[in-house]
Structure 1
Amino acid sequence: MSIKSTKIFNSKQGMLIEGNSLELLESDENLSDLKGKVNLIITSPPFPLNQKKKYGNEKGEEYKNWFTKLAPIFSELLADDGSLVIEIGNAWEPERPVQSLLHLECLLGMVKHPDANLRLIQEFICYNPSKLPSPAQWVTVNRLRTVDSYTHVWWIAKNDFPKADNSKVLRPYSKSMEQLLKRQSYNSGKRPSEHQISEGGFLKDNGGSIAHNFFEMEALDEKRDVRLPHSVLSFSNTNSNDYFLKTCREKGITPHPARMSGGLVNFFIQFLTDEGDLVLDPFSGSNTTGYCAEKLNRKWVSFEIKEDYIEQACIRFSDPILKSPLKKMKA
């Protein structure tokens, strides 16, 4: 595939393309093969922050206009039963202790775009107590607000029934549920909520309980087990022991400051796709998405505009566990 890009890197399952994803997807004829073929677009685009970051981000009305323009591009790429998953943080009004509505306006702009037949399937919340206190001016300096410790994850699709199977992402049963299954009895009947609990409705072992739309990056309560799907949140951005961060330290490289959680990516890849399906990330950073897709035997295409982060993606893929390094294609 010949693409208007300075560099292309291949692995066994996928391709990392250097360049502006939106410009390439709109203008490069060779990428037209992707249209209608992508089973999952999963990404964490630059957040609408008030301060410019190294990884690039627009602000205010410019951000909303930029974000809304993604809708028809993504809609055209998705297969009819494909899904779009976007992680985005909260925004605050400049120099005011007031939360902005910008992220909500962006969501509405995307799902109501006249040239994109999209709708919000479900919202997830990703809670991370290790996030630094922000917005710092109003949390740690003036102490007027609490720590902004979560991000939104929006699951969007072209129709009401995108491919999905929650039995692939079951979480472990609670200890009380394990005991119930062992004794094969419980108090059935009508509850104060007026729900009628059948005699055998909870006696079948399904291998785990259905996942929630709230993810704890770390335990809210240290005395309570965090019951996450087995494939989910196996590592967090604060985990200093994984291969990627260890190698970055050894090479004196500062890792991408806004990496998407690998566990979060694992969850949605397994929940919304099958092996051999195509996963795309238009703003891949150090390419956590491609790494997770490779491990889970999915095809993938990622884009990244900054050479520094592509170097980090190559480090990520040099993980000996993966056995699928990124290799630069010959011109």
Structure 2
Amino acid sequence: MKISYKTEKGIFYNGDLEKVLSSKKFEKYKGEINLIFFSPPFPLNRKKKYGNLQGQEYIDWLSNLAIKLKDYLSDDGSIVIEMGNSWESGNPIMSTLALKALISFLEAADYRLCQQFVWHNTAKLPSPTEWVTKKRIRVKDSFTHIWWMSKTEYPKANNRNILEEYSKKMKRLLKNKSYNSGRRPSEHNIGEKSFLTNNNGAIPSNVIVAANTVSRSPYLTYCKENGIIPHPARMPLDLPEFFIKFLTEENDLVLDPFGGSNTTGEAAESLNRNWLSVEINEDYIEGSKGRFSKIKK
């Protein structure tokens, strides 16, 4: 394990994750991390350059990781995991491996499942190709699940930090102070003043719509200028930003154990949070430097 670089708010470690979590130097972070946000390698049937396990081996690996990460999480901290979908090899049938891995992850460390989110990627290419674009017997798979869990039923969280702009209709309602109140067919009784309070925004749903369609950015420019191939599975900044705002406060500590191109570190730094990232691939780490204006030696 070694420190690849530091910024004003964060540190990027280069090394094998399991060895990093077991190292004496990293032990100082035990119980100090407020949010662990990551997207582990998916249990895909076809091997990717960034690595992925399969079958029971994947489940066992993720379960072991759950136990090790728990030691580093603060008592009111959260873990947020993006879990992609996978398909049975050679068949137009979805695999249940990701779900089995999730349940095993929860049970291995006795986490509480706080809420399920869906990331709808509007720019995702049609897949799985064999069944969607060739034989035309499935529709494209354009979402992944994001699972929020913690040690306790009441981790730190505040949805006031992620309010969305009111719709035009809601703005008009607040202005006119009038709407159709009364009992609905659903048997809900809407009071005459139930929706007249201006809360400065609407509470978002658990469906996050975001596309990673950025063609120009400091990160991509840096990679091009330095002959670095960009990370093949980057996520949009919107995802880590949403959960960092929702589940942490300024100067809290955020960890991405699969740092990759360090989208999480960039989001944390921009929101005045401290961050740690771990990545085994040195090329990914080198490219991630393009996300920061000031790198400390």
TM-score class, shorter: over 0.9
Normalised to the residue count of structure 1, the TM-score between the two structures is 0.87
**Aligned 1:121-140 pairs, distance under 5 A:** 121-140=114-133
**Aligned 1:149-164 pairs, distance under 5 A:** 149-164=142-157
Shift of 1:134: 1.1
Shift of 1:67: 1.2
Instruction: Tell me the residue number matched to 2:105.
Output: 110
Quick one: which of 159, 162, 167 aligns to 1:166?
A: 159
Gaps spanning 5+ residues in structure 2: where? none
Instruction: Tell me the residue number matched to 1:19.
Output: 15
CA distance in 2, matches of 1:246, 1:203: 48
Quick one: which of 69, 72, 76 aligns to 1:77?
A: 72
Q: Deviations for 1:141-160, whole angstroms, at most 9, x for unmatched residues?
A: 22221111001100011110
CA distance in 1, matches of 2:142, 2:60: 26
Give yes or no for contact 2:30–2:73 (8 Å, CA) kept in 1.
yes
Shift of 1:249: 3.4
Q: Which amino acid aligns with 1:255?
A: P
Q: Which amino acid aligns with 1:259?
A: R
CA distance in 1, matches of 2:193, 2:40: 46
Give the root-mean-square deviation of aligned CA atoms: 1.3
1:275 maps onto 2:250 in alignment:
yes
For residue 69 of structure 1, give the secondary structure of its aligned residue in structure 2. helix
Q: Which amino acid aligns with 1:42?
A: F
**Aligned 1:150-229 pairs, distance under 5 A:** 150-217=143-210
Give yes or no for contact 1:21–1:304 (8 Å, CA) kept in 2.
yes
Q: Deviations for 1:169-224, whole angstroms, at most 9, x for unmatched residues?
A: 0011111101000001112111111111111110011111001100112xxxxxxx
CA distance in 2, matches of 1:36, 1:7: 21
CA distance in 1, matches of 2:123, 2:255: 28
Quick one: which of 139, 153, 165 aligns to 1:146?
A: 139
CA distance in 2, matches of 1:269, 1:6: 26
Question: Percent sequence identity over matched residues?
Answer: 51
Normalised to the residue count of structure 2, the TM-score between the two structures is 0.97
Quick one: which of 205, 221, 229 aligns to 1:254?
A: 229
Instruction: Tell me the residue number matched to 1:98.
Output: 93
Instruction: Tell me the residue number matched to 1:304.
Output: 279
Q: Deviations for 1:279-304, whole angstroms, at most 9, x for unmatched residues?
A: 00100101011111111111111001
Instruction: Tell me the residue number matched to 1:242.
Output: 217
Shift of 1:265: 0.4
Give yes or no for contact 1:75–1:117 (8 Å, CA) kept in 2.
no
Give yes or no for contact 2:3–2:11 (8 Å, CA) kept in 1.
no
CA distance in 2, matches of 1:204, 1:94: 53
CA distance in 1, matches of 2:131, 2:58: 23
CA distance in 1, matches of 2:135, 2:181: 53
1:326 maps onto 2:295 in alignment:
yes
Q: Which amino acid aligns with 1:171?
A: E
Q: Which amino acid aligns with 1:15?
A: I
Instruction: Tell me the residue number matched to 1:222.
Output: none
Shift of 1:252: 4.0
Q: Deviations for 1:253-287, whole angstroms, at most 9, x for unmatched residues?
A: 32111112211100100000000100001001010
Give yes or no for contact 1:22–1:282 (8 Å, CA) kept in 2.
no
